[in-house]
Amino acid sequence: MHPSVYQGIGKKAPYFEGWYFKMVSEENGHALAFIPGVSLGEDSHSFLQIIDGVACTSRYVRYSLHDFKASSRRLDIQLGRNRFTADRIIVEEEGLHGEVEILDSVPWKSTLLRPGIMGWYSYVPFMQCYHGLVSANHRIRGSFNLHEKIMHFNDGMGYTEKDWGKSFPRSWIWTQCNTFDDDLSIMASVAHIPWLHTHFIGFLAVVWHRGALEVFTTYTGAHYEAKLDQDKVILGFSNRHSSLHLVITQAEGADLRSPISGDMRGKVNESLMAEMEVTYKVNEAIKASTMGTRSGLEVAGDVAELLTH
């Protein structure tokens, strides 16, 4: 019922858990993402991944398991001198330090049937990977000092999600953006999901628009389309009342580590510089038609199995 908090108490290898904190400055001049997490496997440790989206660089900072502390009651992660909570991010690393506040966050509201964004799948004990929405949209205020260069994030935008389980899927597409002129935040993913002795293609799209949250996903009976066209990723989602059409233009990214059987030995390239064109309709009426910048984008594995065209 509280997917944003640490789920790993009492868990044994193979297991991983990681949170994803993205932030973009008001003028889009800066884009950072922090991924604190824990890895239980042949090489157990905790870690912090840092992505500088504009410079297209990443950094992996390794910590011992003893350096990782997390509350089981609320989102509160301590990793060495770094701390990540629902309302504040403090980073103290070599060459990078600073603090931002998280304001007006939009958390997932848990119910018995939908304890998390995965709905009833959250209760299935053998899922390869679980996904949680922590904040669909929020403002940020503060700054970071990167090698003596001040990166201001006052009036910037932020987004937070998380994953936990054994491994990332063998193939997936993921994208996220909330730097639009409209009051809008989008997250969408399509992935190969193992299921007993077979598999299915799972998908999820979250639209937060002017205070209202809508979810398109497998368990609600929605449908998806996915296509790659040169440097563009085209995703479509629809249900009986609404539709969402995304055209994401790929851009240069940075390599991150990803979990395989608990160990952080996989690799995925993530961009924070993609552009997202959005058309969102409700009852055939266009509610949002806009372009967003500094979008997150991952296209990983043999994505041909995810495509519908």
Query: Domain boundaries in the chain?
Result: 15-306
End-to-end CA separation in angstroms for the chain? 37
pLDDT score recorded for residue 121:
57
Residue 26 has which token pair? 């008001």
Q: What angle do CA 90, 24, 155 make, to 5 degrees?
A: 80
Single-letter code of the amino acid located at 88: R
Q: How many helices (H) and strands (E) does the chain have?
A: 0, 22
Q: What is the DSSP letter of 30?
A: -
Integer Cα distance of 265 and 278 in angstroms = 34
Residues in the chain: 309
* pLDDT for residue 117: 73
The residue type of 17 is E
Nearest alpha-carbon partner for 54 in 70, 87, 31: 31
Q: What is the pLDDT along the chain (309 residues), one digit of tens a residue?
A: 788 899 989 899 999 999 999 999 988 789 999 999 999 999 999 999 999 999 999 999 999 999 999 998 999 999 999 999 999 999 999 999 999 999 999 887 766 666 667 665 566 666 789 989 999 999 999 999 998 899 999 999 999 999 999 999 999 999 999 999 889 999 999 999 887 778 889 999 999 999 999 999 988 889 999 999 999 999 999 999 999 999 999 999 999 999 999 999 999 999 999 999 999 999 999 999 999 999 999 999 999 999 998
Give the amino acid at 120: W
Those residues with Cβ within 8 angstroms of residue 51's Cβ, 6 or more apart along the chain or in another chain: 32, 33, 34, 35, 57, 58, 254, 256, 270, 272
Q: What is the Cα–Cα distance from 19 to 46, expressed in whole angstroms?
A: 12
Instruction: Report the 10 Å Cβ neighbour count for 269.
Output: 16
Q: Are 254 and 58 in contact (CB under 8 A)?
A: yes
Closest CA to 31 of 298, 241, 296: 296
Closest CA to 129 of 38, 43, 15: 15
Specify whether the CB–CB gap between 39 and 14 falls below 8 A.
no
| CB contact set of 307 (below 8 Å; sequence gap of 6+) | 226, 227, 228
Burial class (CB in 10 A: 0-12, 13-18, 19+), 56: middle
- Tokens standing for 279? 């058309």
- Are 127 and 121 in contact by the 8 Å Cβ rule? The answer is yes
Q: Which residues pair with 156 in a beta bridge?
A: 140
Tokens 């002129």 belong to 181
Return the SS3 of 125.
coil
Task: Give the up-direction half-sphere exposure of residue 282: CA atoms within 13 A in the CB hemisphere.
Answer: 10
Distance CA 71, CA 69 (A): 7
